[in-house]
Amino acid sequence: MTLATASPPTPVSATDRLTGPAREAAVWLRARARTTPGLLRIVSVALVAAITLLWAAAFAAVLVRDDAVHAVSADAAPAFAAAQRLHADLSEADATIASAVLAGPVEPPEQRRAYDESIGAAEGELLALARAGGSPAAGDALDTLHREIPAYTGLIGQARANNRQGNVVGGAYLQKASQLMQQTILPAADSLAASSAQQVDDGYRRATSSTHLVLVSVAGVVTLAALAGVQVWLFRRTHRWLNLGLLVATACVLVTFAVTLGAFSAERARMLEGRDHGFVPMSEIAQARVLGLRAWGDESLSLIARGDGAALDADADAVATRLGYTPEGDPTGSGVLPTITAYQNGEGLRDGDLEVLWRGYQATSNTVRDQVKKPGEFNQARDLALRDGTTAFGRFDDAAEAALKASQQRFDDRLSAAGDRLRGLEAVVVVLSVLAAAAALAGIQPRINEYR
């Protein structure tokens, strides 16, 4: 009896497992790879594909980063600065009119003019922000400001009219207007600034993303490895040491790789400098100025209240604490002003020491507060507030405004420098990539021709 033996199964190749167009392509590639000219053509296509991969990664990354820098410098940063100016103008208007009403029925012309200019500037900033548009949250804040600022100026108009006539009710209108400013209008301005700051942060994340560095690095290393590998393979096949075309292609890829990564690193460094030495100090200084204006307004409103200003005095004390000082004027070691001083020292700025100037104003304000408690000395306290207090606060406010402008200028300069690092990089990437692809093909084509 003869036993049948089973034959071993025929091995299935990877090509056999494919179906449809993929199988046809695999069969075509395998057929071409059986001959040296066909293999050289496949290698040339692979090199061009690798170079194209590097070009795509570098070009896309440059476009994304350049767009992000432009979005920050042209849109988000100006909107943030405008929102900060809007907040400061509104705060200044509120504090100035309180001081003007405190002076008596006849408002000092310079303070009346300062109030009108602050309101006019705020309305101009509001129109600019409305034209710029923004997020839904910014839209809600703009609606609030468009609605409430006229209501505020209406209350101020009633307060001034009653003040000119010597009516005590003028103080009540003024306090109601100030509450509207502090509780509704300024929070809406804060919302605008926060929305713009978020846009700045988003732009920074895109402009300094490490993902771009990784993508370009991977594509560059793969392309350089492919070029080096092909040159070694050709040397073993042809025993020729040099292939000028592939050497030129390698040099172009290397330059593309190095220039792109170098530009990204320089751009990122300028962006971070702008954030740390411009945007962050600008935010802190703007906050200090607004807080100072709030305390100055509280002082005037408290004097107008004539003994009914305990809540306003408490608010002024809270402001001093946020700035970095106790109600008595002693430094707490932390707060907005010490933070600003650290930034100013780091930048070598001495445009008025804000801490020293604030201490001068707070000392005068505390003297006014102590004096008004003494019987029969209200007029002396009011005169001290209007004379020395206004002068001391004016020095602080002027120094804060100068420091704010200096920080904004540093921010703008760093953003401009970051954009300069990317300018023209797209063209460089395109030209070098085309040269690399052409040189790679030129280096392999003569070897193909040898088989004709």
- The pLDDT assigned to 9 comes to 52
Q: In terms of C-beta density within 10 A (0-12 exposed, 13-18 middle, 19 or more buried), how is residue 109 classed?
A: exposed
Place of tokens 């795509």: 56
Is residue 135's pLDDT more than 80?
Answer: no
Structure tokens given for 145: 């400001």
Q: Work out the angle between the directed axes of helices 390-422 and 280-305 (0-180°, nearest 10).
A: 160
Backbone angles phi, psi at 331, to 5 degrees: -70, 140
Rounded distance, CA 90 to CA 81, Å?
Answer: 14
Is residue 349's pLDDT more than 50?
Answer: no
Name the nearest CA neighbour of 84 among 116, 115, 122, 113.
122
pLDDT band at residue 21 under the 50/70/90 scheme? low
Name the nearest CA neighbour of 82 among 200, 189, 199, 204.
189
**HSE toward the beta carbon, residue 104, CA cutoff 13 A:** 6
364-369 contacts, C-beta under 8 A, 24 or more apart: 364/388, 364/389, 364/392, 365/295, 365/299, 365/316, 365/389, 366/327, 366/328, 366/329, 368/299, 368/303, 369/299, 369/302, 369/313
Please write the tens of the pLDDT for every residue from 163-177.
888 888 888 899 999
Please write the tens of the pLDDT for every residue from 417-452.
999 999 999 999 999 999 999 998 888 877 666 665
Kindly state the percentage of the chain with pLDDT values over 70: 87
Burial 196-221 (b: 16+ CB within 10 A, else e): bbbbbeebbebbbbeebbebbeebbe
pLDDT band at residue 346 under the 50/70/90 scheme? low
What sign does the dihedral 388-394-397-399 (CA atoms) show?
A: negative
Contact 189, 87 (CB under 8 A): yes
Is residue 3's pLDDT more than 50?
Answer: no
Residue 74 vs residues 86, 137, 283: alpha-carbon distances, Å: 18, 20, 18
Is residue 106's pLDDT more than 90?
Answer: no
Average pLDDT (76-102) is 92
Is residue 139's pLDDT more than 90?
Answer: no
**What is the residue type of 366?**
N
**HSE toward the beta carbon, residue 400, CA cutoff 13 A:** 29
pLDDT band at residue 374 under the 50/70/90 scheme? confident
Please write the tens of the pLDDT for every residue from 218-230.
999 999 999 999 8
Please write the tens of the pLDDT for every residue from 299-322.
999 998 886 788 999 999 999 999
pTM for the full predicted model: 0.81
Please write the tens of the pLDDT for every residue from 246-275.
999 999 999 999 999 999 999 999 999 999
Mind spelling out the 3-state secondary structure of 285-340?
A: HHHHHHHHHHHHHHHHHHHHHCCCCHHHHHHHHHHHHHHCECCCCCECCCCHHHHH
